[in-house]
Amino acid sequence: MRSFATRSLQSLRAIWILNSILLLNTLGAFGMLARAQEAKWDLPSGVKYSSEVKSEPRVLRVHRLAIDLKSESLEFAVVPGQDPDGDGPIEALLTPPKKLGQEVSAIALINTSAWGMFPDKNTGKKQSYVVGGEADILGWVYQGGKQISPIQGGYWTCWMDSNRRVSIANLGERQEAERPTQAVWAVSGFRGILTDGKILPEASEVRHPRTALGLSADGATMTWLVVDGRQPGYSEGVSEHELAQLMLEAGCDDAMNLDGGGSSVMLLRDQDGSLSAANRPSDPTGQRPVPVVLCIRRSEQSN
C-alpha cells in the first residue's frame, strides 16, 4: 500500500502539471489576442507594430512601434494644441490626442513632453487637470521653423536634423553654441534612460504607465514603446529602470522616458482609416488630452 507521503507527492505533481497546462493555455490565448490586435492596424511599409503580454516581473502589456528612419515615404510631425495667447506664457491647450493626429492625417502617434497646468487667472491657485486647460510644456518642442517651447535644463530632447538624422540628448547641459541649429522637429521628455546601451536609472519600486522613445545603435530605427499600468491583473506598470530594460530588448541603444501615467497613449490607424488606441490608457475616461504629440504620416512625395 502506498504511503501517505507518496500519494501527497503524486497529488502535488498532478496539480503542478494542471497549473502548467492552464498557464500555457492562458499565454497561448494572450498570444492569439496580440496577433489579432496587430492584424487590425493599417500601417505602411517601414512601420511595424508589435505587442506582448509579460508575466514577469509582473503582469505587463507592452506596445512597440518600430519605424524605419531610412524610409522617405514617411515623415514626422510635432502637433501641439492651440496656442491661446501667441507670444504669451501659455504654450498649448490640452487637446485629445486623436484630434491632434487628425490635423496632420497621422498614421501613428504617441504622447511626448511633460507639462504643467497654469494657475487659475482669477485666484492664482493651481488648477486641477481639466480638458482644454492651459499648459506650460516642459522642454524643447519645435516644428517646421516654429519654437513651441524652449530648451530647458533637466528635460531630454529627441530631434531630427535636415539630413534626417535623429539624436537624443540633454541639451540643457550644452553651451548655446553646441545646440542644434538645423532641427526639423524636436520633442522632449523627462530624462534619458539609455545611453550607448547603458541603463541610466537606478532600480526602483516606483511603477507607472510609461511612454518611451529610442534609437538603434546605427540610427536607422526609431522605437516607440508604451507600457500600460495602474490596472491590477491587466498591466501594472514599470519603473524607469525596467522601462530601459524593455527598450534594450527592443533593440535600442539610446532612449528617453517621455510623459507617462494617464497620458501614456499610442494611437494607430486601423482598417477603417481612423485612429484608435493600441494600448489601454489608465484614466477611467480613456485617452487623456495632452498639449503635444509626435506623429508619423505619409510624406507629400509619397502621396
**Residue ranges per domain, the chain?**
1-39, 42-302
Length of the chain measured in residues: 303
Maximum average pLDDT range among 22-36, 43-57, 125-139, 288-302 = 43-57
CB-CB neighbours of 24 under 10 Å: 10
pLDDT-derived band at 11, boundaries 50, 70, 90: low
Output the CA–CA distances (angstroms, integers) from residue 3 to 7, 9, 11, 91, 221, in the order listed.
Answer: 6, 10, 13, 76, 62
Q: What is the mean pLDDT of residues 32-39?
A: 54
pLDDT at 250 (0 to 100): 98
Cα–Cα distance for residue pair 68/45, rounded to 1 Å: 9
Give me the phi and psi of 93, to 5 degrees please. -95, 140
Q: What is the pLDDT of residues 194-251, one digit of tens each?
A: 999 999 999 999 999 999 999 999 999 999 999 999 999 999 999 999 999 999 999 9
User: Strand, coil or helix: what is 202?
Assistant: coil
- Asked if residue 1 has pLDDT above 60, the reply is no
Q: What is the pLDDT of residues 253-297, one digit of tens each?
A: 999 999 999 999 999 999 999 999 999 999 988 899 999 999 999
What is the value of pTM for the model shown?
0.87
pLDDT at 266 (0 to 100): 98
pLDDT at 158 (0 to 100): 98
Q: What is the pLDDT of residues 61-109, one digit of tens each?
A: 999 999 999 999 999 999 999 999 998 999 999 999 999 999 999 999 9
Least confident among 112-116, 123-127, 194-198: 123-127
DSSP state of 142: E
Residue bearing cell 506596445:
63
- Residue 289 C-alpha cell reads as 488630452
Least confident among 110-124, 182-196, 219-233: 110-124
pLDDT-derived band at 10, boundaries 50, 70, 90: low
Which helix (H) or strand (E) segment is 154 a member of? none
pLDDT-derived band at 126, boundaries 50, 70, 90: confident
